Amino acid sequence: MKLTAWLQLPVIRQVARYLIFVFILIFVMVFFTAIAAVPSFAALNDTGITTCSNETENWLPCPVDGFPRQDAEYGRDAQAQTGTLIKIGGGEAGFDFTKISNTGAVLSADAQLGSGAADWACTRDNVTGLMWEVKTDDGGLRDQNKTYIFSLTADYVMGINSTSLCGFNDWRMPTVKELLEITHHGRSNPAVDINYFPNTQTSWFWSGYPDLDDSNAAWVVGFHYGVTKSIYRSFECPIRLVRGGAFFNSFSDNGNGTVTQTNTGLMWAKCAEGQRDTNCSGNAIKVPWSYSLSVAENSRLAGYADWRLPNIKELRTLVDYGRSNPAIDTRYFPNTPSSWFWSISPGNSYSYYGTYANFADGTTGQYNRSDDGYIRLVRDITSSLNVTVTGAGSVASNPAGITCGGDCAEDYLINQQVILIATPTGTATFIGWTGACTGNEPTCAVSMDQARAVTAEFSEAAPQTYALSVTVAGTGTVSGTGINCPGDCNETYNSGTQVILTAAATGANQFTGWGGACSGNLTTCTVTMDAIKSVTANFQTTAPTYLLTVNKFGNGTVASSTVDINCGTDCTENYTSGTQVTLTAVANSDSRFVNWTGACSGILTTCTVTMNAAKTVTANFELQSNSTQQTLTVNAYGPGAVNSNPSGIACGSVCSKTFNSGAQVVLTAMPLTGGAVFSRWDGCPNENGLTCTVTMNEAQNVTATFRYPTSMTQLIVSVLGEGQVISNPSGVNCDTALCFGGFTAGTAMTLTAQPETGWQFKEWQRGGACGGETTAECQFTLNQTQTAIAVFEEAASVNQHELQAIIVGAGNITSQPSGSGIDCGRADNDAELTGTCVTNYTADQVVIFTATAEENAQFTSWGGVCADQGDTPICTVTIAELIASGENSSSIIASFGAIDRSNTTRWQVAELYMATMGYAMDAEGLNYWVNNIESGQLDSEGQPWTIDTVAQAFFNVDLVQAKYPTTLSNSEFIDEIYRNIFGRGADVDGRNYWLTELSERGTPRNAMIITVINGGWGNTSADAQSDMLRFKYRTEVALAFADYQSEHGIVYGALDAMNQQYLIAAGSNVLANVTQDETTRDAAIANIPNLLAPLHD
């Protein structure tokens, strides 16, 4: 017999088809196993139907008398209608979907489709666990109008995987059943939730299943009404890809006329209605849809009374696409008629239609409900879950059902996963689970494979308390029970406590009114503590005023920053004591400014006068000669320099020069050797490539920007002190605060620090390459943009020791004997230091230092070498003792009051960034967290973001976890925090204090940084205030760094990886030299354009 004739035998043909299907099934299972790292799902989506039907009408309110046990009255759709369904994401009816970004991140429900990293591209089905491709309308690969013949589906899968859609490359064709899971039978054209699957054509979509009865056909799912059929493979249809585990049936014959579908938790009637015994002999009955409802209601098969018709999705799970006539596993469902069976689900095409599954070939569709169809009944398998609560708390469940105390027992589907959530009441705490749950995490997953019991234990609730915070604005005091502010300005009270606060002005001040939880201008206020509250008491100084008189000699004018003086004509003004007035001299065109006399001096055109007495200032001008000159100022930003013709400008070093009026100056941009390139001119009236021609009819300001190409990895080097850093391989020879070098990624770098005469190398500063190391040679591999900061100090003299004065607030430090060195002061909190603040002393000297407060200030304490002198304004220092300590230098700190701290959200987030990361932040990240807090965005727990929860969230960032690995001991962890905030490791007392906070008080690491910051601000000692003065200046620099980014369109997320690393390195470098001296702050801010110019056009 010929092979072809043999295959035509009915039994042989059936066996051959089965073997082919088994081969394909094995291949699909291996393929899915290779690409899907998640197990097969067990949960089924509901149909989306939320209305009921009678014999001729759909879309009726439930229930409908005489038509029991309908689709909308069971399952997730019913729970959604009653508001008892808890979802992870969103979606219509019982569907639960989450939007996923192009990079795989979870998005909010209002996210929009797009090609950006943070735009929506995929949808995750939270019921089945599958992730789906979302169609676009942009004409690209995933456009809704793109259709394919079946043979090109593999090419489409390869194309999508090559893009790593949503961060994954294991996308595949869906099975028929998977595609049917997202169909929405409560709507049509398209039959899908368009909020999560927009741009869905009302068309047939390819599945990955060929038709085993026809080698020219394959299975499709119609998104007109959610039906299935087989069509020719030459047709063109859309494709929607999926990723995740595939669906496979698993059955168990219960021996009582029922079959359990173990992968879904459903129990099926083994036989179609009308058949009997274990082989389902006899004739199955065919009845209209309405009659089938009564059959289900009256069935008592195997002793159960809760039988119902399956919904269309449940019924379709029985279809076996590897079989036909009948298309079902006959080992468990023998003698199944090869015909169509009713489901309980009404049709979504015509009002009198119902849905069916045809077990002849596996197709699904819709018929008139008056037609006769076969029936197979189904019921849900459940097991009971009982919850017990001890202590003060409650337990809720997802899916809904448990709300304990109250409702503590519920039946759930067999094998269903139930999430229990423990919530303490008030100040109680959750202790832990016992029974089917263990551990002390507040959530627990219970698998309902059998009856389960769980106990949640809570502590008893303590009385509710609330914090009261008092702020004094101005000079005065506020007192009350537990409050004596300044000093003790915070107290905690039991709920309902009434606190009486009394404001009292001191000195030449008056109380002007309350703010916050108090209002009005009476000196007493009563606060009822029923929430966290803050109160501000405002005082105003009744300070004297002094007259400022401005004289001018010559042709010019003088104006003040406060616009009160414009002399010219208005040359006098009275100012409140302590006011700082900045005067600016402007010469007429025929003259030049010479100098200031009187209360101002010097030749700069600006002068600042502090009005602590009546003062007179004179501005002197003189006529210019016939040969006028104009000033040309050049800025060279990035790795390059600028020279001029005629000579005079050589910038890097000489960047300003006067030229005769009308002269033409040609500037030439010269990129550094080693691969640097010229980027652009700014302020140039006539540019031509590397040259810029300027006509000096007036003062000119020109900027040249250089950068390295993105193919090169940058090295940013800074020198603090007197010395130079030389690289091997060559490219860096640096003796200034900022140098650049460009190298091939992966270059093995050696940097050598060489001190100038009289100086010695101290260390490589933390935050850069070799941070903390003290050897002059630094070796590392340059894999990404890196910064290196070499610190030099003056070489130790045998009998000398350097003392530096640091002043916090407004006051002076003077030394005796008179003329022995330190005579340093600050006129007010925001003024610059004046006088001699750094001096070398010899071993034979004993120096007496005196702290003197300015008007309206008060000396509070010493720090540094005088820390043990407390609040006595006299400190005696024996220099020989300092030299014996082995240190080359020390500081003497005088505090004249606490440093002001900004309370804006932006300031606090900036503090967090620096303290956590150790570098100035990117503007995009700063604005993101500020917006989260100020706009009331919710965190993952559904609570509004606060500065505390933002601080904790920082510890989930990869960069932070790398900086503070779990391998760090508590002591090492505290040292790292101190270095970021205070620029030094922790002192012994500080380390011991915070170790106690971590180990005994239970403060978690992700809350420690903000705790240490707040502790620093709250510590009034001179040493602490000196630390916080440096921290304040660093925060001001970091905010200026972010402002420059915003003003010039620098967005971290829009930069490539190399430039992102450059921005981080620049953020570290800009803070490197910022100390308690405000001039270092100003220098760092002035250097920001040089650092960031290469990142913008």
Q: Do the beta carbons of residue 648 and residue 710 sit within 8 Å?
A: no
pTM (global) more than 0.95: no
Lowest mean pLDDT among 262-276, 534-548, 709-723: 709-723
Q: What's the whole-number average pLDDT of the chain?
A: 85
Q: Do the beta carbons of residue 608 and residue 676 sit within 8 Å?
A: no
- How far is Cα 476 from Cα 509, in angstroms, rounded to an integer? 8
- Strand pairing report for 580-587 and 606-610: antiparallel
- How far is Cα 1085 from Cα 1079, in angstroms, rounded to an integer? 10
Beta-carbon-side half-sphere exposure of residue 74 (alpha carbons within 13 Å): 24
- The Cα-based distances of 919 to 55, 914, 959, 1038, 1085 in angstroms read 72, 5, 12, 8, 14
pLDDT at 671 over 60: yes
Element (H, E) at 21: helix 10-35
pLDDT digits (tens, 9 = 90+) for 214-226: 999 999 999 999 9
Of 851, 831, 806, 900, nearest in space to 611 by CA: 831
- The Cα-based distances of 438 to 235, 457, 668, 707, 762 in angstroms read 55, 11, 73, 58, 54
Q: Do the beta carbons of residue 482 and residue 501 sit within 8 Å?
A: no
pLDDT band at 22, cuts 50/70/90?
Answer: very low
Which percentage of the chain shows pLDDT scores above 70?
Answer: 94
Q: Do the beta carbons of residue 669 and residue 643 sit within 8 Å?
A: no
pLDDT at 16 over 90: no
pLDDT at 1044 over 70: yes
pLDDT digits (tens, 9 = 90+) for 433-480: 999 999 999 999 888 878 899 999 988 877 788 999 999 988 899 999
Element (H, E) at 989: helix 988-999
- Strand pairing report for 615-623 and 545-553: parallel
pLDDT band at 41, cuts 50/70/90?
Answer: very low
- How far is Cα 29 from Cα 205, in angstroms, rounded to an integer? 22
Q: What's the confidence (pLDDT) of residue 25?
A: 41
pLDDT band at 328, cuts 50/70/90?
Answer: very high
**Ramachandran angles phi, psi of 978, nearest 5°:** -60, -40
pLDDT band at 18, cuts 50/70/90?
Answer: very low
- How far is Cα 482 from Cα 488, in angstroms, rounded to an integer? 8
Q: Do the beta carbons of residue 708 and residue 740 sit within 8 Å?
A: yes
Of 676, 746, 784, nearest in space to 1060 by CA: 784
Element (H, E) at 1088: helix 1088-1092
pLDDT at 1008 over 70: yes
pLDDT at 42 over 60: no
- How far is Cα 129 from Cα 399, in angstroms, rounded to an integer? 16
pLDDT band at 535, cuts 50/70/90?
Answer: very high
Of 977, 1062, 1072, nearest in space to 766 by CA: 1072
Residue 578 CB partners (closer than 8 Å, separation 6+) = 543, 610, 611, 612, 828, 855, 856
Q: Do the beta carbons of residue 54 and residue 48 sit within 8 Å?
A: no
- How far is Cα 1081 from Cα 1030, in angstroms, rounded to an integer? 9
Q: What's the confidence (pLDDT) of residue 798?
A: 61
Q: What's the confidence (pLDDT) of residue 297?
A: 93
- How far is Cα 192 from Cα 225, in angstroms, rounded to an integer? 9
Of 708, 709, 718, nearest in space to 778 by CA: 718
CB atoms within 10 A of CB 887: 12
Helices (H) and strands (E) in the chain, counts: 19, 64
pLDDT band at 744, cuts 50/70/90?
Answer: confident
Of 239, 104, 113, 112, nearest in space to 163 by CA: 104
pLDDT band at 518, cuts 50/70/90?
Answer: very high
pLDDT at 799 over 70: yes
pLDDT digits (tens, 9 = 90+) for 88-144: 899 999 999 999 999 999 999 999 999 999 999 999 999 999 999 999 999 999 999
In the chain, the amino acid numbered 832 is: E
Annotation: CATH topology of 251-380: Mannose-Binding Protein A; Chain A (3.10.100)
Lowest mean pLDDT among 193-202, 285-294, 620-629, 813-822: 620-629
Q: Which CATH number fits domain 629-707: 2.40.230, 3.10.20, 2.60.120, 1.10.150?
A: 3.10.20
Q: What's the confidence (pLDDT) of residue 27?
A: 38
pLDDT digits (tens, 9 = 90+) for 371-398: 999 999 999 988 899 999 998 899 998 8
Q: Any idea what DSSP says for residue 1095?
A: G
- The Cα-based distances of 828 to 489, 617, 657, 858 in angstroms read 24, 21, 36, 12
Structure-token pair, residue 39: 């197990």
Of 127, 574, 85, nearest in space to 313 by CA: 127
pLDDT at 1000 over 90: no
Q: What's the confidence (pLDDT) of residue 226?
A: 93
Q: How many Å is the maximal CA-CA distance in the chain?
A: 127
Element (H, E) at 686: none
pLDDT digits (tens, 9 = 90+) for 838-875: 888 888 888 888 888 888 788 888 888 888 877 788 88
Region 934-946: mean pLDDT is: 85
Q: What's the confidence (pLDDT) of residue 8?
A: 37
Q: What's the confidence (pLDDT) of residue 10?
A: 41
Q: Do the beta carbons of residue 1033 and residue 1076 sit within 8 Å?
A: yes
Q: What's the confidence (pLDDT) of residue 415?
A: 66
Q: What's the confidence (pLDDT) of residue 787?
A: 84
pLDDT digits (tens, 9 = 90+) for 45-102: 999 999 999 999 999 999 999 999 999 999 899 989 988 787 889 999 999 999 999 9
Q: Do the beta carbons of residue 861 and residue 1021 sit within 8 Å?
A: yes
Q: What is the CA radius of gyration of the chain?
A: 40
